[in-house]
Chain A
Amino acid sequence: MNKSVKKQLITSFLFSMIVYAILYYAMATKMINNYWTGILITAIINVILASSLNLASGFLGQLTLGHAGFMSIGAYVCSLCTLYLGTPFILNLILGSIVAGCVGFLIGIPTLRLKGDYLCIITLAFNEIIRVVLLNIDITNGARGLLVPKETSFTAVFFSALITIYVIYCIVKSRQGRAIVSIREDEIASELAGIPVSYFKTITFAISAFFAGLAGGLYAHYITIITPSVFDYNKSVEILVMVVIGGLGSIKGAIIAAIVMTVLPEYLRAFSEYRMLLYAIVLIVAMIAKEKNLVQTIKIKLNLDKYKSKLGIFKSKKEGVDE
Chain B
Amino acid sequence: MDFIAQVINGLSTGGMYALVAIGYTMVYGIAKMINFAHGEIIMVGAYFAYFVSSRLGLPAPIAVVFSIVGCAVLGMTIEKVAYKPLRNSGSLAVLITAIGVSYLLQNVFLIIFGSASISFPRFLESGQFEFLSLKISYISLLSLILTFGCTALLMLFVNKTRIGKAMRAVSEDKGAAQLMGINVDNTISITFAIGSGLGAIAGIIYGLSYSLINPYLGTMLGIKAFIAAVLGGIGNIKGAMVGGLIIGIAEALTIAYVSSTFSDAVVFGILIFILLVKPAGLFGKNVRDKV
Give the contacts of A126-143 with B (CB-CB under 8 A).
Answer: 126, 128-129, 132-133, 135-136
Q: How far is the CA of A136 from the CA of B127 in the complex (A)?
A: 35
Mask of B69-81 contacts with A, CB within 8 angstroms, 1/0: 0000000000000
User: Is A124 touching B279 in the complex (CB atoms < 8 A)?
Assistant: no
User: Is B275 touching A284 in the complex (CB atoms < 8 A)?
Assistant: no
Question: Quick check: is A13 within 8 A (CB to CB) of the other chain?
Answer: no
Q: How far is the CA of A14 from the CA of B109 in the complex (A)?
A: 49
Give the contacts of A222-272 with B (CB-CB under 8 A).
Answer: 233, 237, 240-241, 244, 248
Chain B residues with CB under 8 A of A116: 91
Question: Quick check: is A26 within 8 A (CB to CB) of the other chain?
Answer: no
Interface residues on chain A, size class? 35 or more
Find A277's partner among B111, B230, B259 (CB 8 Å cutoff): B111
Chain A residues with CB under 8 A of B99: 237, 241, 283
Find A284's partner among B97, B261, B291 (CB 8 Å cutoff): B97
Q: Which of A133, A233, A248, A284 is the most central at the interface, judged by chain B CB atoms within 10 Å of its CB?
A: A284
Chain A residues with CB under 8 A of B28: 117
User: Is A132 touching B111 in the complex (CB atoms < 8 A)?
Assistant: no
Question: Quick check: is A288 within 8 A (CB to CB) of the other chain?
Answer: yes
Q: How far, in Å, is B95 (CB) from chain A's closest CB?
A: 7
Mask of A131-165 contacts with B, CB within 8 angstroms, 1/0: 01101100000000000000000000000000000
Chain A residues with CB under 8 A of B230: 118, 121
Question: Quick check: is A188 within 8 A (CB to CB) of the other chain?
Answer: yes
User: Is A129 touching B265 in the complex (CB atoms < 8 A)?
Assistant: yes
Q: How far is the CA of A240 from the CA of B92 in the complex (A)?
A: 9
With contact pairs A63-B91, A121-B226, A122-B271 given, residues A241 and B96 touching in the complex (Cβ less than 8 Å): yes
User: Is B104 touching A277 in the complex (CB atoms < 8 A)?
Assistant: yes
Q: How far, in Å, is A287 (CB) from chain B's closest CB?
A: 4
Q: How far, in Å, is B10 (CB) from chain A's closest CB?
A: 19
Mask of A93-126 contacts with B, CB within 8 angstroms, 1/0: 0000000000000000010011011101110111
Q: Looking across the interface, which residue of chain B has its beta carbon closest to that of A122?
A: B275
Chain A residues with CB under 8 A of B169: none
User: Is A117 touching B259 in the complex (CB atoms < 8 A)?
Assistant: no
Q: Looking across the interface, which residue of chain A has its beta carbon closest to that of B102?
A: A280
Q: How far, in Å, is A198 (CB) from chain B's closest CB?
A: 14
Q: Looking across the interface, which residue of chain A has its beta carbon closest to that of B83?
A: A288
Chain B residues with CB under 8 A of A277: 104, 107-108, 111
Q: How far is the CA of A30 from the CA of B103 in the complex (A)?
A: 37
Q: Looking across the interface, which residue of chain B has its beta carbon closest to that of A290?
A: B93
Question: Quick check: is A281 within 8 A (CB to CB) of the other chain?
Answer: yes
Chain A residues with CB under 8 A of B111: 273-274, 277
Q: How far is the CA of A72 from the CA of B190 in the complex (A)?
A: 42
With contact pairs A63-B95, A274-B111, A287-B93 given, residues A129 and B269 touching in the complex (Cβ less than 8 Å): yes
User: Is B264 touching A288 in the complex (CB atoms < 8 A)?
Assistant: no
Find B259's partner among A110, A136, A274 (CB 8 Å cutoff): A136
User: Is A128 touching B264 in the complex (CB atoms < 8 A)?
Assistant: yes
Chain A residues with CB under 8 A of B223: 124, 128, 233
18 cross-chain CB contacts under 8 A: A110-B272, A117-B95, A121-B34, A121-B226, A129-B269, A133-B265, A136-B259, A188-B291, A241-B99, A274-B107, A276-B103, A276-B106, A281-B104, A283-B97, A287-B96, A288-B82, A288-B97, A291-B93
Q: A125-B268, A283-B97 are in contact. List 5 more A-B contacts (CB 8 A).
A: A63-B95, A125-B227, A244-B96, A283-B96, A284-B104
